[in-house]
């Protein structure tokens, strides 16, 4: 196969543009697939109506007349004989083609038919006749300076020779599914002739992607499972005793999750588990129990969270929960005095500290552990799953528990997270009332203030999310302060108002959050995020301005900040647009349903933020549309990896590919 720079028409400039499209070598180029096709079929001009699209061939009748406008634009007119009718053709800004358009030239014209004036407004000319054939033209994603046509032409140069590409689908599976060979499939995809063949070709390439993806997953899972984890000897009575001391009764799903984690911990298999549960479902206490068990078996635990506010909150929770147990718990913050930090590092290294809570610094920095046995990450979707850890640990492979509130539809999750076990908390703690959600127009702000006032009068607290303009921090800030002024006008005499925004230091944020937690502040205004996971039971109203700017799942997360106790809570979505979509939230409080809907509306891209984007970037396959195929690929890949085939020299290239790209951990 020719290299890119050996292709006709590809110089340094084009090479650069190709790189920009992610095409670095000839294989990238032949696997740069069209994203759609244009079907060229000769129109029956007599059947067309005014302004219909037309595709028709014929010959040029006369020398075109060309008129140049002042602004470098031009227009050309000529007569065109289709064999059945003589029409006028008008085309803009192709003056440079004039010399090629001699009388008698064969052309296929694509454009719009102005029947009234018997004129075709052309937008494309092809210098060949179409005849009775139906042509399917591939259309590629292009970039400025490099058109779809050019890309097609380069690809054609490669297709004209013999392709050297190998399918990563084992040949017995290619036989089983009667796939067309990979070389043939690639040719067909770029030069399709009939629908049926095209579909078969696409199937091979989709399946290949899904098969390789699942193979990677299964391989990861095998590797992790084979890693010898810690085998602990703890009686389940310890769990029962601990649970009895809690101020509430665990929900059924919490109990099941605890049991699943317990089983992982006492087995020698390394735990690699995702604990999924909607916001407010009570994941934290489950993770605390896991840390308690880990402590009982003599190991240290690290709880990692994405923000310091959340770290602080977990720290407070942990101190409260373990106050009658003899555990040493510490909080590691970014901005600590050097001496304080040093003390914590020492405590971790000599094993004095049993539980350490903090942000990612816990494993990223050169923190040394005496015997770290369990690593928990909360709000997992904000980290990459495979964040490389450079744990300095005493030769132990710690168990890992991930927690996430990003609800991924279960069937998808089970399939995609082939490398993890999953525990699911589906139900909310007893006594919770569903949050009532309203959708309001900007000019209905009075209703919103009334609702706030009512709740404030009942001594409850309110979150307000300020309008957000992503492009500019400065405007965001102005919005926050403007909103603060408005709120002050409405409530300033009676209630205290606090502001949180991205430009504040962690310390400032922390102190505002504390004041809110202790009800010194009743109204908390914030730019987006408020930090995921904050838990203030007394807050009963969540007001979100410009709701249309958020995805449904993100709004659901924000809504989850209220409704965390027996109190009736409310969420108000303020928006002047996108009512149809936002309405979903007024109808359900079920995160899984919301996420299904988000999934339906926006595709998989957003949902799987958990996965590093590269891993999920399929060229052909679509997780949702091709889900059945994914399930097959899952089964087949599992069978393959467990069979002798996987170790045969014949399939070494597949194994190599998996193992070189699975450089995690």
Q: Output 219 or 540, the one with its CB closest to ligand ADP.
A: 540
Stretch that binds ligand ADP, among 151-159, 182-190, 277-285, 381-389 (CB under 6 A): 277-285
Residue 276 binding ligand ADP, by CB under 6 A: no
Pairing of strands 539-544, 461-465: parallel
Q: Output 130 or 250, the one with its CB closest to ligand ADP.
A: 250
Q: Is the four-CA dihedral 76, 78, 83, 87 of positive or negative sign?
A: positive
Buried b (16+ CB within 10 A) or exposed e, 608-626: bebbeeebbebebbebeeb
Which H or E run contains 411? helix 410-416
Q: Output 183 or 255, the one with its CB closest to ligand ADP.
A: 255
Residue 553 binding ligand ADP, by CB under 6 A: no
CA distances from 183 to 31, 189, 201, 206 (A): 10, 10, 10, 14
Taking the complex as a whole, how short is the minimal distance between the CB of residue 272 and ligand ADP, in angstroms? 20
**553 vs 574: CA distance, rounded Å:** 16
In the list ligand ADP, Mg ion, none, the entry touching 281 (Cβ below 5 to 8 angstroms by class) is ligand ADP
Residue 423 binding ligand ADP, by CB under 6 A: no
Stretch that binds ligand ADP, among 141-149, 211-219, 246-254, 445-453 (CB under 6 A): 246-254
Q: Show the binding pattern over residues 228-257: x = contacts Mg ion (CB under 5 A), - = does not.
A: ------------------------------
Residue 591 binding ligand ADP, by CB under 6 A: no
Residue 34 binding Mg ion, by CB under 5 A: no
Residue 280 binding ligand ADP, by CB under 6 A: yes
Which H or E run contains 320? helix 308-321
Stretch that binds Mg ion, among 388-396, 413-421, 449-457, 529-537 (CB under 5 A): 529-537
**Eight-class DSSP state of 325:** S
DSSP notation for 519-559: TS-SEEEESTT--TT---TTEEEEEETTGGGS-HHHHHHHH
**562 vs 559: CA distance, rounded Å:** 6
Q: Output 327 or 425, the one with its CB closest to Mg ion.
A: 425
Which H or E run contains 222? helix 195-226
Number of residues lying near ligand ADP (CB under 6 A): 19
DSSP notation for 475-529: HHHHHHHHHHHHHHHHHTTTS-EEEE-TTS-HHHHHHHHHHHHTTS-SEEEESTT
Q: Which residue is nearest to ligand ADP (CB)?
A: 282
Choice from 358, 407, 429, 533 touching Mg ion (CB under 5 A):
533
Taking the complex as a whole, how short is the minimal distance between the CB of residue 251 and ligand ADP, in angstroms? 5
Residues 317 and 288 sit within 8 Å (Cβ to Cβ):
yes
Choice from 127, 248, 325, 653 touching ligand ADP (CB under 6 A):
248
CA distances from 562 to 535, 573, 574, 588, 590 (A): 8, 14, 17, 15, 14
Q: Show the binding pattern over residues 318-347: x = contacts ligand ADP (CB under 6 A), - = does not.
A: ------------------------------
Q: Output 121 or 285, the one with its CB closest to Mg ion.
A: 285
Buried b (16+ CB within 10 A) or exposed e, 502-516: eeeebeebbebbeeb
Residue 429 binding Mg ion, by CB under 5 A: no
Q: Which residue is nearest to Mg ion (CB)?
A: 533
Task: Map the footprint of ligand ADP across residues 62-101, applying CB under 6 A.
Answer: none
Residue 64 binding Mg ion, by CB under 5 A: no
Taking the complex as a whole, how short is the minimal distance between the CB of residue 278 and Mg ion, in angstroms? 10
Q: Output 206 or 561, the one with its CB closest to Mg ion.
A: 561
At 214, is the secondary structure helix, strand, or coil? helix
In the list Mg ion, ligand ADP, none, the entry touching 272 (Cβ below 5 to 8 angstroms by class) is none
**253 vs 249: CA distance, rounded Å:** 11
**Eight-class DSSP state of 104:** T
* E strand map for 50-118: 52-60, 65-68, 74-81, 86-92, 106-114
In the list ligand ADP, Mg ion, none, the entry touching 250 (Cβ below 5 to 8 angstroms by class) is ligand ADP
Residue 429 binding ligand ADP, by CB under 6 A: yes
Choice from 158, 258, 405, 584 touching ligand ADP (CB under 6 A):
405
In the list Mg ion, ligand ADP, none, the entry touching 248 (Cβ below 5 to 8 angstroms by class) is ligand ADP
Residue 343: alpha-carbon gap to chain centroid: 39
Residue 277 binding ligand ADP, by CB under 6 A: yes
Work out the widest C-alpha separation in the chain, in whole angstroms: 98
Residue 252 binding ligand ADP, by CB under 6 A: no
Residue 284 binding ligand ADP, by CB under 6 A: yes
Stretch that binds Mg ion, among 61-69, 123-131, 526-534, 605-613 (CB under 5 A): 526-534
Closest CA to 548 of 465, 472, 481: 465
Q: Output 467 or 591, the one with its CB closest to Mg ion.
A: 591
Q: Is the four-CA dihedral 464, 466, 468, 472 of positive or negative sign?
A: negative
Residues 625 and 583 sit within 8 Å (Cβ to Cβ):
no
Stretch that binds ligand ADP, among 272-280, 592-600, 643-651, 656-664 (CB under 6 A): 272-280
Choice from 43, 218, 272, 281 touching ligand ADP (CB under 6 A):
281
Residue 376 binding ligand ADP, by CB under 6 A: no
Taking the complex as a whole, how short is the minimal distance between the CB of residue 536 and ligand ADP, in angstroms? 9
Residues in a beta bridge with 68: 74
Q: Output 169 or 289, the one with its CB closest to ligand ADP.
A: 289
Binding site for Mg ion (CB under 5 A): 533
Binding site for ligand ADP (CB under 6 A): 248-251, 254, 277, 279-285, 405, 429, 533, 535, 537, 564
């Amino acid at each position: 196969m020719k290299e890119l720079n050996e292709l006709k028409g590809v110089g340094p400039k084009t090479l650069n543009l190709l790189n920009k499209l992610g095409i670095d070598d000839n294989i990238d180029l032949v696997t740069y697939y069209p994203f759609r096709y244009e079907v060229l079929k000769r129109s029956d001009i007599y059947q067309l109506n005014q302004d219909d699209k037309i595709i028709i061939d014929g010959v040029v009748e006369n020398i075109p007349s060309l008129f140049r406008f002042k602004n470098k634009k031009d227009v050309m007119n000529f007569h065109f004989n289709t064999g059945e009718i003589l029409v006028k053709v008008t085309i803009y800004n192709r003056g440079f083609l004039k010399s090629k358009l001699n009388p008698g030239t064969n052309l296929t014209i694509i454009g719009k038919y102005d029947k009234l004036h018997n004129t075709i407004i052309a937008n494309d000319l092809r210098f060949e006749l179409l005849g009775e054939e139906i042509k399917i033209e591939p259309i590629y994603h292009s970039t400025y300076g490099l058109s779809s046509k050019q890309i097609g032409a380069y690809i054609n140069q490669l297709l004209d020779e013999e392709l050297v590409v190998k399918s990563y689908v084992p040949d017995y599976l290619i036989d089983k599914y009667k796939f067309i060979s990979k070389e043939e499939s690639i040719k067909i995809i770029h030069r399709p002739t009939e629908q049926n063949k095209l579909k078969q070709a696409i199937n091979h390439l989709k399946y290949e992607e899904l098969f390789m993806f699942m193979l990677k997953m299964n391989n990861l899972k095998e590797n992790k499972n084979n890693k010898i984890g810690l085998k602990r000897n703890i009686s389940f009575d310890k769990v029962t005793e601990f649970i009895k001391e809690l101020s509430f009764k665990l929900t059924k799903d919490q109990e099941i999750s605890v049991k699943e984690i317990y089983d992982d911990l006492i087995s020698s298999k390394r735990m690699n588990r995702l604990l999924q549960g909607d916001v407010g479902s009570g994941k934290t206490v489950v993770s605390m129990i896991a840390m308690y068990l880990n402590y009982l078996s003599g190991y240290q635990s690290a709880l990692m969270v994405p923000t310091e506010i959340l770290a602080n909150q977990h720290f407070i929770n942990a101190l409260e929960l373990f106050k009658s147990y003899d555990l040493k718990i510490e909080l590691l913050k970014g901005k600590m005095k050097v001496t304080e930090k040093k003390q914590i590092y020492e405590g971790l290294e000599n094993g004095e500290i049993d539980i350490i809570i903090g942000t990612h610094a816990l494993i990223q920095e050169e923190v040394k552990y005496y015997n770290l046995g369990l690593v928990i990450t909360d709000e997992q979707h904000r980290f990459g799953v495979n964040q490389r850890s450079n744990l300095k640990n005493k030769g132990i492979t710690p168990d890992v528990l991930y927690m996430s509130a990003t609800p991924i539809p279960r069937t998808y999750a089970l399939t995609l997270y082939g490398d993890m076990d999953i525990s699911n908390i589906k139900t909310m703690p007893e006594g919770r009332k569903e949050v009532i959600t309203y959708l309001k127009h900007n000019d209905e702000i009075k209703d919103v203030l009334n609702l706030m006032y009512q709740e404030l009068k009942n001594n409850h607290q309110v979150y307000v999310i300020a309008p957000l303009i992503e492009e500019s921090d400065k405007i965001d800030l102005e919005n926050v302060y403007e909103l603060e002024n408005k709120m002050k006008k409405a409530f300033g005499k009676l209630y205290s108002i606090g502001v949180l925004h991205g430009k504040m230091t962690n310390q400032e944020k922390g102190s505002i959050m504390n004041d809110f937690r202790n009800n010194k502040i009743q109204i908390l205004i914030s730019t987006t995020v408020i930090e995921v996971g904050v838990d203030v039971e007394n807050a009963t109203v969540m007001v979100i301005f410009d709701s249309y700017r958020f995805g449904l799942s993100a709004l659901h997360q924000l809504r989850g900040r209220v409704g965390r106790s027996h109190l009736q809570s409310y969420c108000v979505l303020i928006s002047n647009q996108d009512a149809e979509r936002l309405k979903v939230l007024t109808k359900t409080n079920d995160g899984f349903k919301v996420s299904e809907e988000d999934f339906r509306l926006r595709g998989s891209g957003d949902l799987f933020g958990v996965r590093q984007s590269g891993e999920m970037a399929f060229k052909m396959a679509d997780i949702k549309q091709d889900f059945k195929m994914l399930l097959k690929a899952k089964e087949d890949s599992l069978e393959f990896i467990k069979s002798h085939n996987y170790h045969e020299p014949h399939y070494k290239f597949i194994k190599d590919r998996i193992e070189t790209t699975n450089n995690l951990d």
